Amino acid sequence: MTTTAPLKPMSLETILSGSWTLFRRNWIVALPMVFVTIGLFVAVAIVVVVAAVSGLAITTAKGAPSPGFVAALAVGYLICLALFALAALAATAATYGMADAAWERGTATFADGAAVVGTRTGALFVAVIGFVGAGIVMLILLIPTLGIAMLALPVVTMYVLPAVLCGGYGGFDAFRESWRLVRRYLGTSAIAILILLAIQYLITMVMYVGILPLEFGIGAAASGSGHAPNLGLVIPLFVLLGVVLIVTVGLLYAFAGYHTLAIVGLYRWLRARAAAEDAAALVAGPGAVPGVPLSAAPEPPAAL
């Protein structure tokens, strides 16, 4: 884990393109959350099977599931959700740890993620509490600000996670660090968020375009105008729907890995830039105008 990257002549374009290059070489940054999601589904399946096999699935006289079965499922689901929340925290820490290592030396391993999980998960939990508080404030200000609060929250807090997991800040101090960088480089930060949101929106639209026609086709083939379902058409459509779901979900997880690399790279660059500008201002004296032009010639990170 690194705290401040050396300042290099870079740009937002360099960060975004470099993030894609790093992701192609270090696609494992997307795997921690994939493992957690798979684990959740497996855990839920185990809960259902155990509750059924234990005899709790005996129905009542009215044919409804027994209270014991319902209670067992409820408790099992709550336990699964609690474990999923803890695993998601660890997966987030691991993802950011690997992304930071990828920017630092060009490659990332699961050991890099495990190191961050062991040292920064507590601070990440505190940051999650801060996000909950920020969300409550956003809801309070939603109507008075005509929705601006909802648009501002993702921008203002965009560097909180990298500040906690890559910069070594405490959970609440990371919000101040994020606000410091966003306020200082608002244009760059806002453009970066808009680009990443546009990519995510595009992937989501591709998912809907691929899924909705198949769902309508399955519904039409299953109804069959009052006749028996056309299994020769329904089964291939179900298979195709499954393939489309797997591909689109895979794209979303891949984008999550790329998004993490982009945010971490942006944080490293802007934090180093701010430190260099402050140092230059101190050397030049109070009358100097600090700043490094955003138009500096783009150059790929040394790790690439």
pLDDT at 302: 46
Rounded to whole angstroms, the Cα distance separating 128 from 133 reads 9
Instruction: Name 95's Cβ contacts closer than 8 Å, sequence gap at least 6.
Output: 29, 30, 32, 33, 113, 256, 257, 260
Domain ranges, ordered by start, for the chain? 12-284
Rounded to whole angstroms, the Cα distance separating 184 from 239 reads 51
Rounded to whole angstroms, the Cα distance separating 200 from 220 reads 31
pLDDT at 235: 75
Rounded to whole angstroms, the Cα distance separating 110 from 235 reads 40
pLDDT at 299: 40
pLDDT at 19: 93
Tokens encoding 276: 């260099």
pLDDT at 221: 65
Low pLDDT (below 70) residues in the chain: 1-9, 51-66, 68-69, 220-234, 285-304
pLDDT at 293: 43
pLDDT at 40: 83
**Of 167, 172, 161, 34, whose CA–CA distance to 91 is shortest?**
34
Contact call for residues 175 and 134 (beta carbons, < 8 A): yes
Q: What is the pLDDT of residues 130-172, one digit of tens each?
A: 999 999 999 999 888 888 888 899 999 999 999 999 999 999 9
pLDDT at 129: 95
pLDDT at 7: 39
pLDDT at 59: 55
**Of 112, 90, 111, whose CA–CA distance to 103 is shortest?**
112
Q: What is the pLDDT of residues 25-55, one digit of tens each?
A: 999 999 999 999 888 888 878 877 776 666 5
